[in-house]
């Protein structure tokens, strides 16, 4: 129980030192922080007033120039419509050229791919023929080396078929 009382007790000197530290901190901040910040804020306010007055001058000038620009805008709109039409026509022609070139290139690539496929197919067939002939020769050698026994003959044929199936 005495431990909790010490924790809750009030020390006058600690309170006085904290108040003194707070007072010193306030005076330091007032001298070095508040005055410069207030000066900066005043400068900013003057700059904002200046910007507003310049903006008002510009607004009146713009109002006078607006009529002149509206006249030019009408002429420019007609001219821009004409430019847009001609640009659209040129773009469509270019698009057609690009599409035609792309389809021609695609057709050429397709034909080349078909030729490549045929060549690869011929190569594969030739390789299979070579492998088949080698297997047949090996089988014939094995048959000649062994007796012609119906069971041995059947097992050799089965082995050759399995090897052929694995290679294909």
Q: Which of 9-13, 14-18, 76-80 has the highest mean pLDDT?
A: 14-18
pTM: 0.34
- Taking the C-alpha atoms of residue 134 and residue 129, their distance in angstroms, rounded to an integer, is 9
**Which is nearest to 132 in space by CA: 144, 121, 140?**
140
State mean pLDDT over 77-98.
Answer: 90
The alpha carbon dihedral of 6, 7, 8, 12 has a sign of positive
Arithmetic mean of pLDDT over the chain: 83
Percent of the chain at pLDDT > 90 equals 33
Residue 86, both tokens: 């001609």
pLDDT of residue 168: 58
Task: Tell me the pLDDT tens digit for each residue of 35-84.
Answer: 788 888 899 999 999 998 998 898 889 888 888 888 887 888 888 888 89
Question: Is the pLDDT confidence value at 1 over 50?
Answer: no
State mean pLDDT over 96-106.
Answer: 92
């Amino acid at each position: 129980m005495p431990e909790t009382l010490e924790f809750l007790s009030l020390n006058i000197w600690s309170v006085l030192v904290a108040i003194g530290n707070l007072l010193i901190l306030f005076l330091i901040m007032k001298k070095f922080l508040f005055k410069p910040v207030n000066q900066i804020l005043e400068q900013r306010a003057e700059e904002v007033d200046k910007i507003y007055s310049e903006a008002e001058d510009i607004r009146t000038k713009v109002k006078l120039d607006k009529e002149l620009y509206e006249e030019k805008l009408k002429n420019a709109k007609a001219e821009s419509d004409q430019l847009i039409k001609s640009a659209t026509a040129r773009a469509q022609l270019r698009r057609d050229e690009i599409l035609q070139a792309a389809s021609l290139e695609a057709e050429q690539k397709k034909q080349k791919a078909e030729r490549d496929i045929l060549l690869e197919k011929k190569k594969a067939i030739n390789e299979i023929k070579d492998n088949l002939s080698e297997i047949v020769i090996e089988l014939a050698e094995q048959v000649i080396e062994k007796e012609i026994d119906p069971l041995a003959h059947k097992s050799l044929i089965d082995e050759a078929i399995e090897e052929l199936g694995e290679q294909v």
